[in-house]
Structure 1
C-alpha cells in the first residue's frame, strides 16, 4: 500500500508514519534532508530525535535520490520527508534564485522520476508538510517553496492509495 502522510510542523505525522510500519520485519527509512552536521543545533536535535525513535532493525538511507532508494529496497519504505527532499533538490541545483520556469522544469523532471518509481513499489509511506494553510510567505523563497511543495504533494498523493492528514496528533484519512 502507498500512503502519503501530511500535516503541519510538529503535528505528529512522522510518529504516525513510523507506526504504520511498526510491525514490519524490515523497513528502509529514507531521509532525504541534509544530515546532522554540527552547523545547526536545532536541526541536529531534530535528526537525533528521529534516529532515536527508529527501531534498530530499520535500515536508514540518507540521500536526496528518493527514487533510487525506493527502487532499490526489498523492504517496505518510509520516506521522511518530501519537504526536506524539495529543499535538497533546490539546493543541489542552486535554484533558489533561478527563473521560475527553470525551477519548475527541474522540480517537475525529478518529480516525474519519483512518481514513476512509486508506480512500481508495493509498500511505501511518504511524509510531507502542508505549508499552504497559514501565513503568506514574505519572501520569494518562501512563496517558491510553498507553491512547489503543493505541486509535489498533489502529484504524489495521486499515486497513493491513501492520504492521511495529521493535526494535533489526530489522523484523518482523506
Structure 2
C-alpha cells in the first residue's frame, strides 16, 4: 500500500506518519532525506532520531538524500525474486520516507546551474513515482511525507518558483498513485482520497 501524508510546516505530519506507519508493522525502515549543512540542521536531525528512539518503535534509519528511486526499486526487486536478505533489504514491510520536499530540494540545488535543471528534476521525479508504485505493488507498505508549499505568495526568484511548481507536480503525481492521502493541519489528520469529488 502506498500512503502519502502532506501538510504545512510544523503541522504534525511527520508525527502522524510515524504513528500510522508503526500501526502497519512491528518494525520499520525510516529513510531520511535531510542533509546537515549547518549546526542547526544537525541538531534537528539528532532531535528527530532521539524522538524516534523514545517512541518505543523499532526504526532502522537510512540516510538517503538523493537515490530514493534506486533504493526502492532494488528492495522491490529483492522482494519479487525472494532475495530480501540481500543488498541491505529491509526486513520490515513498512518503509517511511521523510521528506520528499527535502529530496526535491536536494536535486533542484544539485542541478541549479544546468540550463535544463527543471527537466532533469522531472526525470528524477519520473523515476521516483515508478519506484514507489513498484515497491507498493511488491506487497510492501510505503508511507511518504511531503509538504504543501503552494499556499503562499509566488516566490520572487526563479529557483523558488521552480521549487514551488515542482513540489505541486510531485505531490499531485504521488497522490494519484497512492491508495490513501492524508492532509495534516494543526495535528489533525484527514484522509482525502476517499473523499475526493469525481467528475
Quickly name the TM-score band, shorter chain normalised. Answer: 0.7 to 0.9
- Residue 184 of structure 2 corresponds to which residue in structure 1? 166
Aligned to 1:127, the other structure's residue is in SS state strand
1:107 aligns to 2:121 (yes or no): yes
Contact 1:3 1:160 (8 Å CA) reproduced: yes
Q: Count how many residue pairs are aligned between Structure 1 and Structure 2.
A: 167
- Residue 173 of structure 2 corresponds to which residue in structure 1? 155
Contact 1:70 1:77 (8 Å CA) reproduced: no
- Note the aligned Cα RMSD (angstroms): 1.7
Decide which of 67, 70, 79 is 1:68's aligned counterpart.
70
- Residue 21 of structure 2 corresponds to which residue in structure 1? 21
Which of these two proteins has the greater Rg computed from alpha carbons?
2
Shift of 1:26: 2.0
Shift of 1:41: 2.8
Task: State how far apart, in whole Å, the 2-side matches of 1:85 and 1:130 are.
Answer: 14
- Residue 49 of structure 2 corresponds to which residue in structure 1? 51
TM-score (norm. length: structure 2): 0.77
- Alpha-carbon deviations, 1:86-118, whole Å to 9, x = none? 1111233xx22443xx12321121111111111
Contact 2:12 2:186 (8 Å CA) reproduced: yes
Task: State how far apart, in whole Å, the 2-side matches of 1:128 and 1:26 are.
Answer: 22
Aligned to 1:128, the other structure's residue is in SS state strand
- Residue 130 of structure 2 corresponds to which residue in structure 1? 116
Q: What are the ranges of 5 or more consecutive residues in structure 1 without an aligned counterpart?
A: none
Contact 1:30 1:69 (8 Å CA) reproduced: no
Aligned to 1:171, the other structure's residue is in SS state strand
- Residue 11 of structure 1 corresponds to which residue in structure 2? 11
Task: State how far apart, in whole Å, the 2-side matches of 1:58 and 1:13 are.
Answer: 18
The correspondence of residues 84-95 of structure 1 with structure 2, limited to 5 A, is 84-92=102-110, 95=111
Task: State how far apart, in whole Å, the 1-side matches of 2:134 and 2:27 are.
Answer: 19
Which segment drifts farther, 123-132 or 52-61?
52-61
TM-score (norm. length: structure 1): 0.88
1:139 aligns to 2:157 (yes or no): yes
Task: State how far apart, in whole Å, the 2-side matches of 1:123 and 1:111 are.
Answer: 20
Contact 2:2 2:133 (8 Å CA) reproduced: no
Shift of 1:13: 0.6
